[in-house]
Structure 1
Amino acid sequence: MEPEKRDVRDTETGHKPVDGIDVAHNETLVSDAKHAAVAEQQMTLLKAIKLYPKAISWSVLLSSTLIMEGYDLALLGSLYASPVFNKKFGVYDAKKNKWAVSAAWQSGLSNGARAGEILGLIFAGLASDRYGYKVTTIASLVLMIMFVFVLFFAPNIQVLVVGEVLCGIPWGAFQSVTPAYASEVAPMVLRPYLTTFINMCWVIGQFFAAAVNKGSVGRSDDWAYKIPFGVQWVWPVPILAGLIFAPESPWWHVRHGNREAAKASLLRLTSRNDPSFNADETIAMIEHTNDLEKRMKDGLTYRDCFRGVDLRRTEIVMGIWLVQTLCGQNLMGYFAYFLTQAGMDASRSFSLSMAQYALGMAGTAGSWFLMSRVGRRTIHFGGICCQLLILVIVGSLSFSNSNGAVWAIGAMLIVFTFVYDFTVGPVTYSLISELSSTRLKAKTIVLARAGYNASNIFVNVMTNYQLSSTAWNWGAKTAYFWAGSCLLSAIWVFFRLPEPKGRTYAELDLLFEHQVSARKFAETKIDPFSHHLGDEPKRTSEQVLQKDEV
């Protein structure tokens, strides 16, 4: 095994093979990689579940860290409908004869979390490359446990903002690590399910936020908001206890030149009961993809995300996440507040919020069946078009002040949540994991999610001023504004978003290298082992090696 390990190190440092032994090793590597790629593309969902049950469990456990982020971000929007929270942290509005947190401080709370998440993303991008996904997540969970104390004991709104910034740091790390890990520990057929489960975790967190708020909104003491904050200690401890035993991604080990550790990790992710599975061939496929990407680019820095073929990949991944913020999804987080502003009492609005998020969970589960039959691009574009129509309807209902119109707005926002969590929400995590290169995946996701959080700062400021009774007080007419940005998002998706369904990472690498149009990704034939694309003449592996040497 020693010569094989030496070859991996040489490849990783950029040294070119110069003797016949290395050429023979390259031929064996390509042959094994091709066999594993064919086996993975032909693998059924049932076989993948039987072969990778441990990978599914570890990915689900790590993804559950995002329940905390979904919980808190929905919690803030819901707490603005809590009378006790408003009296503790808000100001008295003489015109409305009630207490309310000003739009400026609402923006400070929401944007404080986003600013912290950007810091956490930068930390995770550096730490996950150096120390791995597992260690980065464990460190973030420890920080999470510490920072919740700031939220729980905050004496005023200024300290509450500091708490949101601090809690945003581990949340940002979770945002980066979870999709990268989910996309690397399982075969192609399982990737869309494991990556979209991240959206399910978000919705679960939002559902719990509505449920906890409904249970505590009737209290007249400080526990009306302390209980919702304190619930955030429930998640980190059991997740931390499990992650201590989790295996690292095999891809991470290969990128660090440790083939033996990669194989050991892969064996911990798979079942030992399938005699047809060949771990060495799967590791060869990972090595081949890693070598292929290194021949296209040399660096692993943030700057390399904006060079050559990766510039387009970074633009697409960032655009996919920006579309999430610009298609009106922020209104879902302000659901209870939105309805109370429209005239509904707080308890009833929380009940509707629970129904909204329960339907969102059903939508995410439904998206798993949809993605097995329909391409990611089709789902994403169709979802945005449906959201555009719903936003126009909500805006139109705002011209009526009747009780029926208020309920109709609530019903349409519930439908909006279902459509979002059936299409755009979950498929986004599948797309960003598949369309970024494996060697720059962590850093590409960091940049894209940082862009997402930065855009959310703008979106949160706009939404708070649009809905707040102390500012513009647009009410449901806010939906018209987001309908316009949703239309622009739909145009971008149509022209720029490619279809990765059914493609291995090596195939996607070559499609981007050959600058295939986004609308032709699905129909273009590609052979990553001969570099054959469309009608181009096929080349032998010796010719490929000779060209790469030049």
Structure 2
Amino acid sequence: MSDQYSKTGPAPALATIVSQTPSTDAASSAHYDLRPFRTEGDVFHPLSTTVPGIGALAESARAATRAEQKMSLGQGFRLYPKAVLWSILISSTIIMDGYDMSLLTSFFTFPVFQKSYGEPVPVPESQQGEGQDPSYQISPVWQAALINGTQVGVIMGLIGNGFVTDSFGYRRTLLAALGALGAVVFLAVFAPNIETLLAAQILCGIPWGVFQTLSVSYAAEVMPVVLRGHFLSYINLCWVLGQTCGVVVIRALVDTESVWAYRIPFALQWVFIIVLVTGVLFAPESPWWLIRQDKPEEARKSLLRLTRPRTGTVCVDETIAMMIHTNKIEKTLTGDGNISYLNCFRGVDLRRTEITTMVSVTQQLCGSTLTFYAAYFYEQAGFHVRDAFNLAVGMYGLAIAANVISWFLLPFVGRRRLYLAGAALSLIILIVGGCVSLMPQTPAQSWALGSLIVILTFVYQMTLGPICYTLVAEIPSTRLRVKTVVVGRVAYNITSIVTNTITPRMLNPTAWNWKGKSCFLFVGTTVLCLVWCYFRLPETFGLSFLEIDILFQKRATAAKFRVFQRNLELSGYNDLPGCNDRGIDVWERY
């Protein structure tokens, strides 16, 4: 496999492949059933006799896939250093999303914000006449409206992004979203009343919706298999970093009595926007998107900007051949070759959409909502406002550590087992938290509840939080990835609207006032999610996108994904120059 490349002019190998491959597949008008082939232990060569127009691509595609699967973590960083940096930059748009979300929920316990946008709480008769100033609260109705208004805007941005990114690409879409957000932040900073603030949150939600899916898809498409899980889970760390920044900023301004105590945190988003726009202007487009647009030469140039091919065995031309090969197979599998939301609900893609959706929704249903309201939860549990924010800051610091730990667990435990463990541990913590809340309220009981929320945060950020982003990017087909991730994220945000409507009422003393008993509600939903994960969630660790495509097309059960991976290892498929020289059928037991 050659490692000599020129950055100017088309490579002979690629030119040959493109010339031998029809630009318009005859297969695009017909649906081919790939389930019957299983006579050879090879993912690629039997496809050449089943799908027209890909024979010239099979050998290069197999070589590129084998090279990626043999790649060590250290080699991945050495060969794809620029992809690492660009992925970190694009994923950092999520920091703004997490930052603002933590601002809004933390503002509900912020005295100046409560006084500016809240309603006075009547002073008890026993304290009247003592010159005590009335306290203020944002009503549960307005809390829900502000949070859910943001989610409505996010859903609008998500759905729009499914069309815009597929048409205009990642880079131009992201630049437009950042520009729009910069304009709308003015409205949030200078909102004179809570109605204007609600409008600002809805409008800000639209670009945030773009960030939520675009960052996931971009990271999946610029990373090799060995780095994919780590940098997709990094997206969850961006959420945590954003939330941590928000809580730290508010903690620093908690004693400030002017309106700038909450205007400054909103205005700091302009700093994020300036830095990100400067970087995104120079970011390479996703090579997978360029392949879907039938621009293989531009995809090759983009891949060269993401890699350092002279330092190792990565072959740009073979990698491009693998992308073209996978794209053509997926066009055949979808029958009409179209990229639309309807295709997410047809054939085997329906199952992929179900898994993506349920993995996303599980994040909301396993008690994580309580951690988002950490400072408010602590205050209503009996903590002083300053102590509540101190605990919240410590909790987010622990969450960052948990995310980093997940990177080390991912290669050894896998996606499925780590996700199942997270759901099971969350269930245990929620049951214990609910039982503790039944005891009389004392300082010890309040600290016990606060500690359990911290532990729940640690478990969530080590398992369900980061692994979700890895799974939702790997499960969809490459052609439908953006739209499938959008569908999953829309489901997440709809579920978020429900939980964000219920949670303030459960915690607010002027509403249901459940406090720690709120854990019991999430016990039931966590049980349902745990059962679903056990029977329906497959293991995708170490598999290429094409291998995942074929496993879904063969309707392999969740357990069979792991069987296939073991068969690949036993066959020597990833180690030997020839494919399956040991004569082992990797499709055995299908």
- For Structure 1 versus Structure 2, the TM-score category normalised by the shorter chain is over 0.9
CA distance in 1, matches of 2:256, 2:589: 71
1:196-275 maps to which residues of 2 (within 5 A)? 196-275=233-312
* Equivalent residue for 1:344, pick from 383, 403, 408: 383
CA distance in 1, matches of 2:150, 2:23: 41
Matched, 1:459 2:486: no
CA distance in 2, matches of 1:15, 1:9: 14
Matched, 1:486 2:526: yes
Structure 2 counterpart of 1:318, one-letter code: T
Work out whether residues 429 and 452 of structure 2, in 8 Å CA contact, stay in contact via their aligned partners in 1: yes
Work out whether residues 25 and 53 of structure 2, in 8 Å CA contact, stay in contact via their aligned partners in 1: no
* Equivalent residue for 1:330, pick from 345, 369, 375: 369
Structure 1 counterpart of 2:360, one-letter code: W
- SS, match of residue 120 in structure 2: strand
Matched, 1:473 2:510: no
Matched, 1:309 2:337: no
Matched, 1:53 2:81: yes
Residue 126 of structure 1 is matched in structure 2 by 163
- SS, match of residue 383 in structure 1: helix
Deviation of residue 45 (structure 1)? 0.4
Deviation of residue 434 (structure 1)? 0.4
CA distance in 2, matches of 1:190, 1:220: 47
1:525-544 maps to which residues of 2 (within 5 A)? 525=567, 534-535=587-588
Work out whether residues 5 and 257 of structure 1, in 8 Å CA contact, stay in contact via their aligned partners in 2: no
Residue 397 of structure 1 is matched in structure 2 by 436
Deviation of residue 456 (structure 1)? 0.5
Residue 384 of structure 1 is matched in structure 2 by 423
Deviation of residue 224 (structure 1)? 1.8
Work out whether residues 377 and 507 of structure 2, in 8 Å CA contact, stay in contact via their aligned partners in 1: yes
Matched, 1:70 2:107: no
Deviation of residue 24 (structure 1)? 11
Deviation of residue 392 (structure 1)? 1.4
Deviation of residue 53 (structure 1)? 0.2
Work out whether residues 222 and 306 of structure 2, in 8 Å CA contact, stay in contact via their aligned partners in 1: yes
Residue 544 of structure 1 is matched in structure 2 by none
Change (3 A) 1:465 1:442: same
* Equivalent residue for 2:556, pick from 492, 513, 516: 516
| Residue ranges of structure 1 left out of the alignment (5+ in a row) | 538-550
Change (3 A) 1:248 1:12: farther
Work out whether residues 426 and 459 of structure 2, in 8 Å CA contact, stay in contact via their aligned partners in 1: yes
Residue 90 of structure 1 is matched in structure 2 by 118
Change (3 A) 1:8 1:193: farther
Matched, 1:9 2:62: no
Structure 1 counterpart of 2:200, one-letter code: G
CA distance in 1, matches of 2:557, 2:18: 38
Deviation of residue 276 (structure 1)? 2.4
Deviation of residue 534 (structure 1)? 2.3
CA distance in 1, matches of 2:123, 2:559: 54
Structure 1 counterpart of 2:519, one-letter code: A
- SS, match of residue 266 in structure 2: helix
Change (3 A) 1:224 1:48: same
Change (3 A) 1:277 1:24: farther
CA distance in 2, matches of 1:157, 1:447: 31
- Identify the range of structure 1 (388-397 vs 203-212) with the bigger mean alpha-carbon deviation: 388-397
* Equivalent residue for 1:28, pick from 43, 52, 56: 56
Work out whether residues 236 and 465 of structure 2, in 8 Å CA contact, stay in contact via their aligned partners in 1: yes
- SS, match of residue 474 in structure 2: helix
Work out whether residues 17 and 57 of structure 2, in 8 Å CA contact, stay in contact via their aligned partners in 1: no
CA distance in 1, matches of 2:170, 2:276: 14
Work out whether residues 12 and 257 of structure 1, in 8 Å CA contact, stay in contact via their aligned partners in 2: no
Structure 2 counterpart of 1:45, one-letter code: L
Work out whether residues 216 and 227 of structure 1, in 8 Å CA contact, stay in contact via their aligned partners in 2: no
Work out whether residues 12 and 256 of structure 1, in 8 Å CA contact, stay in contact via their aligned partners in 2: no
CA distance in 2, matches of 1:325, 1:275: 42
Residue 357 of structure 1 is matched in structure 2 by 396
Deviation of residue 519 (structure 1)? 2.3
| 1:125-153, Cα deviation, whole Å (9 max, x unpaired) | 11110011111111111111111111100
CA distance in 2, matches of 1:142, 1:8: 40
CA distance in 1, matches of 2:490, 2:309: 40
Deviation of residue 8 (structure 1)? 5.4
Deviation of residue 477 (structure 1)? 0.6
Change (3 A) 1:15 1:339: closer
CA distance in 2, matches of 1:535, 1:523: 9
| Residue ranges of structure 2 left out of the alignment (5+ in a row) | 1-13, 31-47, 125-133
CA distance in 1, matches of 2:421, 2:26: 42
CA distance in 1, matches of 2:493, 2:441: 34
1:418-433 maps to which residues of 2 (within 5 A)? 418-433=458-473
- SS, match of residue 310 in structure 2: coil
- SS, match of residue 318 in structure 2: helix
- SS, match of residue 294 in structure 2: coil
CA distance in 1, matches of 2:27, 2:302: 23
Structure 1 counterpart of 2:385, one-letter code: A
* Equivalent residue for 1:37, pick from 45, 59, 65: 65
* Equivalent residue for 2:486, pick from 446, 466, 470: 446
CA distance in 1, matches of 2:251, 2:589: 62
CA distance in 2, matches of 1:25, 1:296: 14
Work out whether residues 12 and 255 of structure 1, in 8 Å CA contact, stay in contact via their aligned partners in 2: no
1:59-208 maps to which residues of 2 (within 5 A)? 59-94=87-122, 98-208=135-245
Work out whether residues 25 and 52 of structure 2, in 8 Å CA contact, stay in contact via their aligned partners in 1: no
TM-score normalised over the length of structure 1? 0.93
Structure 1 counterpart of 2:344, one-letter code: C
Deviation of residue 37 (structure 1)? 0.6
CA distance in 1, matches of 2:296, 2:245: 42
Work out whether residues 537 and 558 of structure 2, in 8 Å CA contact, stay in contact via their aligned partners in 1: yes
Work out whether residues 28 and 332 of structure 2, in 8 Å CA contact, stay in contact via their aligned partners in 1: no
Deviation of residue 5 (structure 1)? 4.0
Residue 547 of structure 2 is matched in structure 1 by 507
Work out whether residues 8 and 257 of structure 1, in 8 Å CA contact, stay in contact via their aligned partners in 2: no
Residue 316 of structure 2 is matched in structure 1 by 279
CA distance in 1, matches of 2:231, 2:271: 23
Deviation of residue 9 (structure 1)? 2.3
Work out whether residues 506 and 518 of structure 2, in 8 Å CA contact, stay in contact via their aligned partners in 1: yes
Between the aligned residues of both structures, percent identity stands at: 41
CA distance in 2, matches of 1:71, 1:382: 28
Count of residues paired in the alignment = 532
Residue 300 of structure 1 is matched in structure 2 by 339
CA distance in 1, matches of 2:364, 2:305: 37
- SS, match of residue 10 in structure 1: coil
Work out whether residues 99 and 245 of structure 2, in 8 Å CA contact, stay in contact via their aligned partners in 1: yes
Structure 2 counterpart of 1:36, one-letter code: A
Residue 535 of structure 2 is matched in structure 1 by 495
CA distance in 2, matches of 1:432, 1:204: 21
Work out whether residues 138 and 240 of structure 1, in 8 Å CA contact, stay in contact via their aligned partners in 2: yes
Structure 1 counterpart of 2:391, one-letter code: L
CA distance in 2, matches of 1:513, 1:151: 48
- SS, match of residue 470 in structure 1: coil
